[in-house]
């Protein structure tokens, strides 16, 4: 008897990033993409957000393959973390993504060898007797981007990956005819990119950006500094071509930018003559009008090259008259960081150009509403599951599909972990699996708990109070009364609040000691008493940290 197919996301629903989609039968499980999400400002100290891979660990015997649609971090960035959690049998990926993945695994020092197989639009991969996977080329902001067609005994599924329908792309054309043929043969479920579902019309072509960049280069009399995503290879190629046409040398700054450009040059996706490339040491040896700097930092990231340049922490310094191009739009949540960076640059005399009606400096790699309608018409699915987007984007995409005639009950606006089951061309909801966020901090690959994130939020917003005391556990007496140290309060109230907080802690400690309390009981009493007092006086709830010492040196 043929097994039903379960379909669920470990990441990518209700968020922009960490795209990870699973397709499972009784005997086999495959993934499409394994991405990360970059942290917002409300996740202090977090480097990446990845999916919870527990379900994969518990079903590792069924895990047969990982398929990659393209080489962006929100689709491949989770691979090193996944490889540390569960053995990846084989990765099927486009040519450029293969190169980026190999570099990523080497950089992460993954010791276990992982088989990586290059695919193209003609590839057909058979997984056991459960899945037949084929591909169709799409246009996106990185070369070698594909959608995925998954044929099963229960029906056909299409997962678009990230795409836009660009009729004048930089690079190969979208395989509209192939996608239309798949739709005419019959598609049970379409899973489609929702990132721009709020924008009406069509996403501008990537070639439109070149005209805006050229106009700025023609008017710039000093250095031109262009900041964009390191993985936006098509954009980088266009900027390089414009710079060389205007007689400028190109300097690449930022670790990720240097790595990606090096790999893309090696495989022919970016073409820069060696004579046109210089390093940061050589910038000062050329006239400002002969320099173009390409760097990371368009999202205001504090450790990226452009932010370090703005703070004076880089070999390259801002010079009055520099023209700085932000060839990107702020990711939701990064607007304040970008504004702060722009102000810092302008203060130093730079002329900052951002994407606007005056200058077309960025084109999204994702489809606007007319392209979403066209995708739905071409595929003509029986069922629809919007993906790759925040909840409001998924909801709007679902409403758009309903307006095109897909029945409301056949549209699934899901959360990560929600399971759909495809059985004999019929899809039903069938439960939920754990699919929490895992927060990665530095080299701690176990991830941080939500409680740690909450503690960091408290420290950031309300500060910290440490209460130090010395007791005699045998005599159940106080040797040294509580001493309070506060950090993160207004200087005008520090002295008064701290003094009275000490008095409150001393009184609470004296009241509890006759009862021969445990250390935990003492800590809870101090936390409660001091916390209530400070909140009453300051309307703040700082982190209270009691530190207990006794005369025997135990705590």
- Angle 342-348-352 from CA coordinates, rounded to 5°: 40
Note whether 187 and 169 are within 8 A (CB).
Answer: no
Phi/psi for 37 (5° steps) reads -120, 140
Helices (H), 144-232: 176-185, 206-219
Tell me how far apart the alpha carbons of residues 147 and 159 are, in angstroms, rounded to a whole number: 6
Tell how far CA 536 is from the center of its chain: 40
Residues in contact with 10: Cβ distance below 8 Å, sequence separation at least 6, in sequence order: 18, 20, 21, 22, 51, 52, 53, 55, 56, 416, 417, 435
What does the longest C-alpha to C-alpha distance in the chain come to?
Answer: 86
Catalytic residue among 70, 72, 362, 366: 366
Is 33 catalytic? The answer is no
d(CA 25, CA 544): 50
Please state the length of the chain: 555
- The reply to whether 366 belongs to the active site is yes
Task: Assess contact for 283 and 253: CB atoms under 8 A.
Answer: no
Choosing from 193, 344, 418, 441, the catalytic residue is 193
481/526 Cα distance (integer angstroms): 12
Burial class of residue 407 (count of CB atoms within 10 Å of its CB; 0-12, 13-18, 19+):
exposed
Residue 192 to residue 111: CA distance in whole angstroms: 35
Q: Is 305 helix (H, G, I), strand (E, B) or coil?
A: helix
Sign (positive/negative) of CA torsion 32, 38, 39, 40? negative
Q: Are 497 and 489 in contact (CB under 8 A)?
A: yes
- C-alpha span between 547 and 468 (Å, rounded): 5
- What is the C-alpha to C-alpha distance for residues 80 and 66, in angstroms, rounded to an integer? 13
R_g of the chain, CA atoms, integer Å: 28
Active site residues: 193, 366
């Amino acid at each position: 008897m043929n097994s039903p197919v379960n379909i669920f996301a470990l990441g990518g629903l209700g968020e922009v990033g960490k795209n990870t989609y699973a397709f499972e039968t009784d005997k086999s499980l495959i993934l499409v993409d394994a991405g990360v999400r970059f942290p917002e400002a409300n996740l202090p100290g977090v480097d990446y957000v990845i999916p919870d891979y527990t379900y994969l660990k518990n079903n590792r015997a069924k895990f047969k393959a990982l398929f990659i649609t393209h080489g962006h971090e929100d689709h491949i960035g989770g691979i090193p973390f996944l490889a540390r959690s569960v053995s990846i049998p084989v990765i099927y990926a486009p040519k450029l993504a293969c190169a980026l993945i190999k570099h990523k695994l080497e950089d992460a020092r993954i010791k276990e060898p992982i088989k990586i197989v290059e695919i193209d639009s003609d590839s057909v991969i058979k997984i056991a007797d459960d899945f037949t996977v084929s591909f169709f080329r799409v246009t996106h902001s990185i070369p070698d981007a594909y959608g995925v067609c998954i044929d099963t005994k229960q029906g056909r599924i299409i997962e678009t990956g990230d795409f836009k329908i660009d009729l004048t792309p930089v690079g190969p054309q979208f395989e509209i005819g192939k996608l239309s043929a798949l739709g005419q043969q019959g598609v049970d479920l379409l899973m489609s990119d929702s990132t721009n579902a709020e924008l009406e019309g069509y996403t501008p072509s990537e070639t439109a950006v070149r005209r805006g960049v050229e106009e700025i280069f023609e008017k710039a009399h000093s250095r031109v500094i262009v900041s964009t995503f390191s993985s936006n290879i098509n954009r980088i190629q266009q900027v390089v071509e414009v710079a060389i046409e205007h007689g400028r040398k190109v300097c690449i700054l930022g670790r990720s930018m240097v790595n990606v450009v090096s790999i893309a040059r090696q495989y022919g996706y970016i073409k820069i003559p060696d004579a046109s490339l210089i390093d940061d040491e050589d910038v000062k040896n050329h006239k400002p009008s002969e320099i173009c700097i390409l760097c990371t930092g368009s999202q205001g990231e504090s450790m990226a090259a452009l932010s370090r340049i703005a703070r004076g922490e880089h070999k390259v310094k801002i010079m009055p008259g520099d023209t700085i191009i932000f060839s990107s739009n702020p990711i939701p949540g990064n607007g304040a960081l970008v504004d702060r960076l722009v102000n810092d640059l302008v203060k130093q005399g730079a002329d900052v150009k951002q994407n606007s009606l005056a200058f077309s400096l960025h084109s999204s790699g994702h489809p606007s509403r007319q392209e979403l309608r066209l995708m739905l018409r071409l595929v003509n699915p029986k069922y629809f599951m919007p993906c790759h987007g925040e909840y409001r984007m998924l909801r709007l995409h679902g409403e758009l599909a309903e307006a095109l005639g897909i029945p409301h009950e056949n549209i699934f606006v899901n959360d990560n972990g929600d399971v759909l089951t495809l059985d004999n061309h019929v899809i039903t909801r069938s439960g939920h699996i754990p699919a929490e966020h895992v927060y990665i901090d530095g080299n701690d690959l176990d991830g941080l708990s939500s409680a740690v994130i909450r503690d960091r939020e408290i420290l950031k917003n309300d500060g910290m109070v440490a209460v130090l005391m010395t007791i005699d556990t045998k005599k159940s007496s106080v040797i040294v009364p509580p001493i309070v140290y506060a950090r993160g309060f207004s200087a005008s109230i520090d002295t008064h609040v701290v003094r009275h907080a000490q008095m409150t802690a001393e009184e609470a400690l004296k009241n509890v000691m006759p009862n021969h309390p445990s250390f935990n009981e003492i800590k809870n009493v101090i936390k409660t008493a001091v916390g209530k007092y400070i909140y009453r006086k300051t309307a703040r709830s700082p982190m209270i940290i009691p530190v207990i010492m006794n005369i025997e040196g135990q705590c």
